[in-house]
Chain A
Amino acid sequence: GAVVSQHPSRVICKSGTSVKIECRSLDFQATTMFWYRQFPKQSLMLMATSNEGSKATYEQGVEKDKFLINHASLTLSTLTVTSAHPEDSSFYICSARTDRYYNEQFFGPGTRLTVL
Chain B
Amino acid sequence: AQSVTQPDIHITVSEGASLELRCNYSYGATPYLFWYVQSPGQGLQLLLKYFSGDTLVQGIKGFEAEFKRSQSSFNLRKPSVHWSDAAEYFCAVGARGGGNKLTFGTGTQLKVEL
In this complex, which of B42, B90, B105 has the most chain A Cβ atoms within 10 angstroms of its Cβ? B42
| B21-36 interface code vs A (CB 8 A; 1 in, 0 out) | 0000000000010001
Residue of B nearest to A110 (CB): B43
Chain A: interface residue count, which band?
Answer: 20 to 34
B44 within 8 A of A: yes
Name the contact of B44 in the complex, choosing from A46, A103, A107 (C-beta under 8 A).
A107
Indicate if the CB atoms of B41 and A112 lie closer than 8 Å. Answer: yes
Q: What 1/0 flags go to A20-35 for Cβ under 8 Å of B?
A: 0000000000001010
Number of residues in B with C-beta < 8 Å to the partner? 23
For B101, list chain A residues within 8 Å (CB): 34, 46, 49
- Smallest Cβ-Cβ distance to B91: which chain A residue: A43
- The residue that B104 contacts in the complex, of A4, A43, A109, with Cβ under 8 A, is A43
Instruction: Please measure, in the bound complex, the distance between the C-alpha atom of A48 and the C-alpha atom of B45, giving whole angstroms.
Output: 21
Known A105-B102, A109-B43, A110-B41; contact A44-B32, beta-carbon cutoff 8 A: no
Interface 1/0 per residue, B78-114 and A, CB below 8 Å: 0000000000001000101001111111110100000
CA A44 to CA B42, docked complex, whole Å = 13
Which residue of the partner chain A has the closest CB to B96? A103
Q: CA A6 – CA B100 in complex, angstroms? A: 22
Measured CB to CB, the residues of A under 8 A from B are 4, 6, 32, 34, 41-46, 49, 57, 91, 93, 95, 97, 102-105, 107-110, 112
Q: Could you jot down 21 A-B contacts, CB within 8 Å? A: A34-B101, A34-B102, A42-B106, A42-B107, A43-B90, A43-B105, A43-B106, A45-B104, A46-B101, A49-B99, A95-B102, A102-B100, A103-B32, A103-B100, A104-B49, A105-B100, A107-B36, A107-B44, A107-B46, A109-B42, A109-B43
Interface residues of B (CB under 8 A from A): 32, 36, 41-46, 49, 51, 90, 94, 96, 99-107, 109
